Amino acid sequence: MPPRSPALPPVVLVVEDEGSVRMVAVDILEDEGFTVLEVATADEAWPVLERCSDIGVLFTDVNMPGSMDGLALAARVAERWPHIRLVLTSGRCGLSTHEIPDHGRFLQKPYRQRDLISAIASAA
Q: Does the pLDDT at position 118 exceed 70?
A: yes
| H helix or E strand, kind and range, residue 123 | helix 113-123
What global pTM score does this model have? 0.90
Torsion of CA 55, 62, 108, 122, to 10 degrees: -20
Cα angle for residues 5, 120, 18 (degrees, 5° grid): 130
Q: How many CA atoms lie within 13 A of 123 on its CB side?
A: 32
CATH of span 11-123: 3.40.50.2300
88-115 confidence digits (pLDDT tens) = 999 877 776 777 888 889 999 999 999 9
DSSP assignment of 5-30: PPPPPPEEEEE-SSHHHHHHHHHHHH
Q: Does the pLDDT at position 4 exceed 60?
A: no
Question: Which residues face 59 on adjacent strands?
Answer: 14, 87
Residue 33 or 1, more confident: 33
Give the model's pLDDT for residue 75: 95
Mean pLDDT of the region 18-41: 97
Phi, psi for 74 (deg, rounded to 5): -60, -40
46-99 confidence digits (pLDDT tens) = 999 999 999 999 999 999 999 999 999 999 999 999 999 999 999 877 776 777
Cβ atoms within 10 Å of 110's Cβ, excluding its own: 9
Give the model's pLDDT for residue 115: 96
